[in-house]
Amino acid sequence: MTEERVDYFIDVIIPVAIPQFFTYRVPVNWNEYIIVGQRVLVNFGKNKLYAAIVSKIHQNPPRMYEAKYIEEIIDETPIVTQNQLKIWDWIADYYFCNIGDVMLAALPNYLKLSSETRIILCNQFDGTTEFLTEKDLELIDFLSLKTIITWEEACNVFGKKSIHKDINKLIALKAIEVFEEIKDKYKTLKIKVISGGELLKDENQLKNIFTELEKKAFKQLEVLMAILEIAKQKKQEKFNFYITKEEINKKFDKSIDAVLKALEEKQIISISEQDKSRLSLDNLKTNIPLPTLSEAQNIAFESINKGFHDNKVTFLHGVTSSGKTEIYIHLINQTLQNKKQVLFLVPEIGLTTQLVMRIKQYFGDRVAVYHSKFNNSERYEIWDGVLNYKSGDNNFSIILGARSSIFLPFKDLGLVIVDEEHDSSYKQFDPAPRYNARDTSIFLANQFNANVVLGSATPSAETYFNAITKKYHYHHITERFGGVELPQIELIDLKKQAKTNFLPEYISKTLHDEILATLEKGKKVILFQNRRGYAPFIQCSKCGWIPECNSCDVSLTYHKYINKLKCHYCGKGQSNYNECPACGSHELKMRGLGTEKIEDELNLIYSKYNIARMDLETTKGKDAYQKIIDDFENDKIDILIGTQMVAKGLDFEKVALVAILDADTMLYYPDFRAFERAFQLFVQVSGRAGRRNEKGKVLIQTYQSNHDVLQKVILSDSISMMNNVLADRKQFKYPPYFRLINITLKHKNIDTLKQASEILGNELKKALGDRILGPKAPSISRVKDKFLMEILVKIEKNASPSQIKKIIRDNLGSLYQKGFSSVRVVVDVDP
């Protein structure tokens, strides 16, 4: 019998935005080492190397081409679980994107390896210079100086962008060589630890050492004593201790490196290196009893468990301050007792220290926090920690994170909590995958048969609909927790306000009086205006000219602190105008209202008080956001002006007044969710006012005091708000009654774009009839020098979305075939 020789082929995912999988061949002697979920190094394209993920192992050689061999198996064990691969597939299919896009979004950077070209001198170079140009010689000089250079450095030497020809010529002359190098490998953080050396093994030696050192090396004795003292403090054994170098360094103000080295040479101590985690696992061992639940909370807890028992997603609807967090804490505890993992999703901005500390208070170092502000090493270490989690472990049993935490390699998930489920930051728009973490987390939970709780005070129409139609289990808490009262919400009808000459038009007399009264009582004020910058646009008062971005179809926002006009779409800035370029007039007026202007002008009016601003600009730095929060908490700020950032996750004492300066612009935003969003935001902002035993006040300035949304905000009545929203959605064929797919076409030539979108629109209408709306230009019809056209697909709930998606996919493919390959198409599912 001859030994059977099997050829293995693997389908891999390449970390590049390409739709397909690629098939490679495994060298026979590696057959037994290849596992799904590992990374393999592959040659892709002409000379690029990538770490690709093994997604399928099979024995079917491709018919149309010869598969390349893989170069290397990178991981001994998989770094991605089978469940994750299923989720990636689902996301790519559901959200209409490439599997490579999902991989890029899911993996921490350290696991995404790709190669970079390096250039070196060729040792066969004979030094002949007759075919070389001056630039060639410059490159060779540079190389003999630096040994290895990058492609980019070579471009700089040549002083141009495209150097392929020059490089190829030099390679042909055997002057240089190129090779591919993998960049950015993860490096563990090393720390030095000190432990007892050979001589410190028995007591008799110790005495000798002491007498010896006392005579000749007093400093060494001092350091040794300090080391033993620290070990004693840490309750370690006398002859078997280890402390970090950092700990001993702290005891001395000068460097003791030389002393330690001497002690090491005498074999009194030994110094070694050890890996250290970058995560601040602040050894919080907590024995704090769980918070006691009120009767209403207890009923909610029981009800949620009933939903779990029925295998349903549970929606916990609880007004602000109804104590949802305490219920979450009990649910988490219950899941940990069952030795399962918990994923606690919060909106990006909700990850304030306030929430993190509150959860850590009960669960200590079991909590791992994960969000986009973390650096590469930290993200990698969390991935690794979750990957190595075993049922019942403490570490990495609770992940508290923003939307991207759904991509972590969970092993044994028991519970997913999505707090503030309505929050729009769960949906990713910009780079693909355009996924919704709330919806994806339900798919994720299904893989593990895990429970899901969605929580909100102001639910999304989708979730509310699923709750009342019994698809989800629904529990509503109407009672506030611990004596917190609903703030008193009042509208200020701007039509009825008397004009004053000392106040800007956006501060009514009534509001001014309330602000002063609040500040005089030593309380704080939050002013909400959902627009950053100084003035959204400027306008010539003679001819009406408005400066616009020359790459985008929007007016430029004036930012006073840099005295520049900035485009909020492409980010380009330009200096401000002194005179109108259209008519030469000097009367350029600031129009509209941004947070920066409010801050500026209020500093004059309330000059006795401290005013701060919280928006994208003032929170850019790593700790800027936290600093504003700290200042506010430490009474260094009396009035806080902010965009929607102030609406979320902040809990402060002493905020007695919250004002929404301009409710109207939000109500007239051109989006089918405008009312829903406005309501959610207004109610959330209102929730910042008042604390325990103290009723806060909320003032909303508007010209539309009869507007239905504002009336619902006054009553904080999310149920009748939702019922109105649902009625509208049904009538106008929007979610949750219809599924939406938005197709955006982009091209820098408007005629090409119009042609392409007409053709696509017509073809889709042929197949899908009046489900297709458009093509029409969006309200901002040009961004970053590209014109935009949109086609909206409305799919009724009982139609097969996969069939319709296939039709869309096919038509996009044939549009590409028809010579419109340069038209970019972006598909956004459930926008």
Residue of 161, 235, 495, 499 that binds DNA (CB under 7 A): 161
**Which residues make Cβ contacts (< 8 Å) with residue 770, sequence separation at least 6?**
none
Which token pair is 106?
A: 């899911």
**Which residues make Cβ contacts (< 8 Å) with residue 317, sequence separation at least 6?**
455, 456, 457, 459, 464, 467, 474, 475, 476, 477, 718
Residue of 59, 204, 501, 821 that binds DNA (CB under 7 A): 821
For DNA, which stretch binds (CB under 7 A), given 418-426, 494-502, 586-594, 815-823?
815-823
From the CB of 91, what's the least distance to DNA, in Å? 17
From the CB of 77, what's the least distance to DNA, in Å? 24
Round to whole Å and give the CA distance between 718 and 724: 10
Closer residue to DNA in complex, CB, 186/816:
816
Interface with DNA in residues 35-94 (CB under 7 A)? 42-48, 62, 65, 67-68
- Can residue 156 be called a binding residue for DNA (CB under 7 A)? no
- Can residue 478 be called a binding residue for DNA (CB under 7 A)? no
Cβ 792 vs Cβ 745: under 8 Å = no
Count of helices and strands (H, E) across the chain: 24, 35
- Can residue 172 be called a binding residue for DNA (CB under 7 A)? no
- Can residue 430 be called a binding residue for DNA (CB under 7 A)? no
Binding mask 772-811 for DNA (x = CB under 7 A): ----------------------------------------
- Return the ∠ at Cα 524 (arms to 522 and 525), rounded to 5°: 140
For CA atoms 266, 268, 272, 278, give the dihedral sign. negative
For DNA, which stretch binds (CB under 7 A), given 11-19, 344-352, 702-710, 795-803?
11-19
From the CB of 816, what's the least distance to DNA, in Å? 8
578: three-class secondary structure by DSSP? coil
Which token pair is 658?
A: 């919250």
- Can residue 164 be called a binding residue for DNA (CB under 7 A)? yes
- Can residue 96 be called a binding residue for DNA (CB under 7 A)? no
For DNA, which stretch binds (CB under 7 A), given 158-166, 372-380, 455-463, 613-621?
158-166
H-state helical runs in 338-375: 353-363
Closer residue to DNA in complex, CB, 70/698:
70
Closer residue to DNA in complex, CB, 47/388:
47
From the CB of 817, what's the least distance to DNA, in Å? 9
For DNA, which stretch binds (CB under 7 A), given 181-189, 503-511, 802-810, 818-826?
818-826
Which token pair is 540?
A: 């010539």
From the CB of 21, what's the least distance to DNA, in Å? 7
Task: Encode 705-725: b = buried (16+ Cβ within 10 Å), e = exposed.
Answer: bebebbebbbebebeebbebb
435: three-class secondary structure by DSSP? coil
For DNA, which stretch binds (CB under 7 A), given 31-39, 224-232, 577-585, 821-829?
821-829
Closer residue to DNA in complex, CB, 26/554:
26
Angle of the 295-309 helix axis to the 324-337 helix axis, nearest 10? 50
Burial of 110 (0-12, 13-18, 19+ CB in 10 A): middle
Cβ 437 vs Cβ 421: under 8 Å = no
Closer residue to DNA in complex, CB, 22/301:
22
- Can residue 162 be called a binding residue for DNA (CB under 7 A)? yes
- Tell me how many residues contact DNA (CB under 7 A): 28
Closer residue to DNA in complex, CB, 62/581:
62
* E strand or H helix at 172: helix 164-172
Closer residue to DNA in complex, CB, 21/125:
21
Round to whole Å and give the CA distance between 679 and 687: 12
Closer residue to DNA in complex, CB, 245/824:
824
Closer residue to DNA in complex, CB, 25/471:
25
- Can residue 160 be called a binding residue for DNA (CB under 7 A)? yes
**Which residues make Cβ contacts (< 8 Å) with residue 788, sequence separation at least 6?**
744, 745, 746, 753, 777, 778, 780, 781, 782
Cβ 117 vs Cβ 106: under 8 Å = no
Round to whole Å and give the CA distance between 510 and 589: 27
Closer residue to DNA in complex, CB, 542/786:
786
Interface with DNA in residues 705-734 (CB under 7 A)? none
The maximal CA–CA distance of the chain, rounded, in angstroms, is: 103
Residue of 22, 374, 407, 679 that binds DNA (CB under 7 A): 22
- Can residue 34 be called a binding residue for DNA (CB under 7 A)? no
From the CB of 121, what's the least distance to DNA, in Å? 20
For DNA, which stretch binds (CB under 7 A), given 12-20, 340-348, 624-632, 637-645?
12-20
Question: Which residues contribute to the site for DNA (CB under 7 A)?
Answer: 16-18, 20, 22-25, 42-48, 62, 65, 67-68, 160-162, 164-165, 819, 821-822, 824
